[in-house]
Chain A
Amino acid sequence: MKRIKLISLYTVLTILSLILFFPMLYALSASFMSAQEVLLGHFFPHQLHPENYLEAFRDVPLLRFLFNSIIISLIVTFGVLIVSGMAAYAFVFLHFRGRRLLFILFISTMMIPWETSMIPNFVTVQHLGWINRYAGLTVPFFASAFGTFLLRQYFKTIPEEMWEAAQISGIGHFRFFVKVVLPVSRTSLVTLGIYTFLTTWNTYLWPLLTTTDERVRPLQIGLRQLQSQETVNDWGVVMAAALIVVVPTLIVLFIGQKHLQQGLTDGALK
């Protein structure tokens, strides 16, 4: 009985995962096909064309884009962690008048669609002279209401007595933040870090608006450039590039997953 249940469960899961994974599988398959073969609607390549991968690197400065994407994503990730962490700390451990109101105001910005603030943000960045610069691509994302909210919820579970004990021993806010709050909240920090890294990795519109220079543009734009540069798209090359784009995010997920599981069990046994 148990066996039947298990088998049926796995059957359903396998079918579902195949459906969900199909585009990826097709992309992998297509990345080894020639342009004609893709257009003929073949499912498997008759002949492997691994040179598509080399082509992708030759057509656009893919390595440069990859480097930019990594730099931008890392800067935003650490920026968000630092800014959100400090903001969340203030909302939890600093007792000041109007703290609740300020917090409500702060998280209510989550309800404003990003698209509406895009134009004012663009104007600001333009005035700062940050067009075509890493600063313009990263700094606007540092203040994250979501990140602050997430970390605040976790910081609130840290007993107030820990801060009181620190106060009595003469440990100040900054030391307490760095030496106690951050290490204790590792799980939440990793979660927020991965989320931020992946979101930043996948942004398209903002880099498109604020950059014209290939030297600072991220991968997502490079991918788009591959498509439009030729009259007839060489889909094999595009797919090869798309797969290259995916690899770093998979690495981040794998590393993060290990940390996440570790973090979760840490919390459970506390």
Chain B
Amino acid sequence: MKSVELIDVTKTYGNGSVIIKNLNLSIQSGEFFVLVGPSGCGKSTILRMIAGLEGMTSGTLLIGGKPANLLPPSKRSLSMVFQNYALYPHLTARENIIFGLKAHRIGKDIVEKRLREAAEMLNLAPCLDRKPRQLSGGQRQRIALARSIVSEAPICLMDEPLSNLDAKLRARMRSEIRRIQRKIGTTMIYVTHDQIEAMTMGDRMAVLHDGTVQQIGRPIDVYNHPDHTFVASFIGSPQMNLMPAVYDDVQKILRIGASWTITRELPIAGGEVILGIRPENIHPATHPASAQNKAIHFSANIIDTEILGNETQLTFLLDHQTWTAKWEGQWTIPDQSAQEMVILPENLLVFDRKDGHILYDPKRSQKVEEVTV
């Protein structure tokens, strides 16, 4: 297995538009690395540059520690699974899987063995003799995966491989891809716009926005400790509540909107900030959190409730701003009724309003201490 490193990579197109700005990524050998971001953030371009399907304007690509900028795609020891699978419609599933191996002059016995193993791993045996158009979306997806597996390339690139599948199949394929990756130990670079895939599949992920990396880290760390308002709003569903606020560092008061104030000392300079809180951290007044004396109590008018089975999503207005809360259990609350709620100050994140960077993350400092102890 091989590592992949991108050093100061920039990509500009002929018309001067910058797609990727000074990208630095270091993907370890055997790691499942997810590139996630909204469409147009450059994540596919990064993947295609690693594959060698697109050139870089500047920067260095190291594959297995060796410069690979000028290598043709076939010499980069990688395989790739495309969003539309890119199967050859005139070949059977079997021929599709081994098509690439023929070019490498690999012995017939080895080809057969690899084919058998891959087919077994993905339960493909019954459809090997059918053509792609006779197969379902999920089966085509597996053929594309099998094609990548039989190549035994140390690096596997996947470009939104699950986006053409229905929700149920997608969930199954998520764990299947993860399982296979663990079993084979390939270095996986996986591009997706789906935050659930990013959260559940990756060892680490990089959140991209407008061609720059916003944050790299373990999915759970990115979720708990977003570095930036973009990451905070992109990861998590429903998204984090982000409210403009002003911090007065003389009176130690945080003013949210016109009327709501929270008296609290923050280790930051006064000024315009953005306050962030995850919907699941806004609790009903009956929650045990409200017993803590540092808890912040407030009341708000509910404008909508959605019961999603085991949890209820509430939308409410606070100072003309729409907030969302996620409560456990099933709550039937009439619209326009006032509801007592509670939040804990340790769940409040403070971002800079100008550049969106994190200013204060109470839990993060604790965590750093834990690590140092």
Find out whether the CB atom of B103 lies under 8 angstroms from the CB atom of A167.
no
Find out whether the CB atom of B84 lies under 8 angstroms from the CB atom of A269.
no
Q: Which residue of chain A lies nearest to B151 when distances are taken between CB atoms in the complex?
A: A169
Q: Total interface residues on B, using CB and 8 Å?
A: 25
CB neighbours of B90 from chain A (8 A): 180, 183-184, 186
Find out whether the CB atom of A164 lies under 8 angstroms from the CB atom of B100.
no
Q: Which residue of chain B lies nearest to A167 when distances are taken between CB atoms in the complex?
A: B73
With A183-B90, A184-B88, A270-B133 as given contacts, are A164 and B104 in contact (CB-CB < 8 Å)? no
Q: Is A213 an interface residue (CB 8 A)?
A: no
* Cβ proximity bits B146-165 to A, threshold 8 Å, 1 near / 0 not: 01000100000000000000
CB neighbours of B84 from chain A (8 A): 159, 161
CB neighbours of B83 from chain A (8 A): 161
B173 CB to closest chain A CB (Å) equals 19
Find out whether the CB atom of B103 lies under 8 angstroms from the CB atom of A165.
no
Find out whether the CB atom of A167 lies under 8 angstroms from the CB atom of B82.
no
A168: contacting residue among B78, B88, B133, CB under 8 A: B78
Q: Is B80 an interface residue (CB 8 A)?
A: yes
Find out whether the CB atom of A169 lies under 8 angstroms from the CB atom of B99.
yes
CB neighbours of B133 from chain A (8 A): 269-270
CB neighbours of B104 from chain A (8 A): 169-170
Measured in the bound complex, the distance between the Cα atoms of B75 and A164 in whole Å is 14
CB neighbours of A169 from chain B (8 A): 74, 79, 99-101, 103-104, 151
Q: Which residue of chain A lies nearest to B48 when distances are taken between CB atoms in the complex?
A: A164
A162: contacting residue among B74, B86, B101, B103, CB under 8 A: B86
Q: Tell me which residues from 159 to 181 in chain A have a Cβ below 8 Å from any Cβ of chain B.
A: 159, 161-162, 164-172, 175, 179-180
Find out whether the CB atom of B79 lies under 8 angstroms from the CB atom of A168.
yes
Q: Which residue of chain A lies nearest to B72 when distances are taken between CB atoms in the complex?
A: A167
Q: Which residue of chain B lies nearest to A269 when distances are taken between CB atoms in the complex?
A: B133
Q: Which residue of chain B lies nearest to A164 when distances are taken between CB atoms in the complex?
A: B53
Measured in the bound complex, the distance between the Cα atoms of B130 and A269 in whole Å is 14
Q: Which residue of chain A lies nearest to B99 when distances are taken between CB atoms in the complex?
A: A169
B323 CB to closest chain A CB (Å) equals 43
Measured in the bound complex, the distance between the Cα atoms of B90 and A172 in whole Å is 18
Measured in the bound complex, the distance between the Cα atoms of B274 and A13 in whole Å is 76
Q: Is B89 an interface residue (CB 8 A)?
A: yes
Q: Which residue of chain A lies nearest to B144 when distances are taken between CB atoms in the complex?
A: A165
Measured in the bound complex, the distance between the Cα atoms of B79 and A167 in whole Å is 10
Q: Is B51 an interface residue (CB 8 A)?
A: yes
With A175-B103, A270-B133 as given contacts, are A168 and B80 in contact (CB-CB < 8 Å)? yes
A97 CB to closest chain B CB (Å) equals 11
Find out whether the CB atom of A165 lies under 8 angstroms from the CB atom of B89.
no
Find out whether the CB atom of A168 lies under 8 angstroms from the CB atom of B73.
yes
CB neighbours of A162 from chain B (8 A): 86, 88
Find out whether the CB atom of A161 lies under 8 angstroms from the CB atom of B82.
yes
Q: Which residue of chain B lies nearest to A162 when distances are taken between CB atoms in the complex?
A: B86
A166 CB to closest chain B CB (Å) equals 8
Find out whether the CB atom of B80 lies under 8 angstroms from the CB atom of A164.
yes
Measured in the bound complex, the distance between the Cα atoms of B104 and A269 in whole Å is 32
Q: Tell me which residues from 133 to 159 in chain A have a Cβ below 8 Å from any Cβ of chain B.
A: 159
With A171-B103, A184-B90 as given contacts, are A165 and B82 in contact (CB-CB < 8 Å)? yes
Measured in the bound complex, the distance between the Cα atoms of B89 and A183 in whole Å is 9
CB neighbours of B100 from chain A (8 A): 165-166, 168-171
CB neighbours of A179 from chain B (8 A): 99
A45 CB to closest chain B CB (Å) equals 52
Q: Which residue of chain B lies nearest to A184 when distances are taken between CB atoms in the complex?
A: B90
Measured in the bound complex, the distance between the Cα atoms of B83 and A179 in whole Å is 22
B59 CB to closest chain A CB (Å) equals 21
Measured in the bound complex, the distance between the Cα atoms of B86 and A251 in whole Å is 37
Measured in the bound complex, the distance between the Cα atoms of B23 and A139 in whole Å is 54
Find out whether the CB atom of A168 lies under 8 angstroms from the CB atom of B74.
yes
Q: Which residue of chain B lies nearest to A158 when distances are taken between CB atoms in the complex?
A: B89
Q: Which residue of chain A lies nearest to B134 when distances are taken between CB atoms in the complex?
A: A269
CB neighbours of B151 from chain A (8 A): 169
Q: Which residue of chain A lies nearest to B54 when distances are taken between CB atoms in the complex?
A: A164
CB neighbours of A186 from chain B (8 A): 90
Q: List 8 A-B contacts (CB under 8 A).
A: A167-B72, A168-B53, A168-B100, A169-B74, A169-B79, A169-B104, A170-B74, A184-B90
The 8 closest A-B pairs by CB, nearest first: A169-B100, A170-B74, A161-B86, A165-B86, A183-B90, A161-B82, A167-B73, A168-B73
- Residues of chain B touching chain A, judged by Cβ–Cβ distance below 8 Å, are 51-53, 72-75, 78-80, 82-84, 86, 88-90, 99-101, 103-104, 133, 147, 151
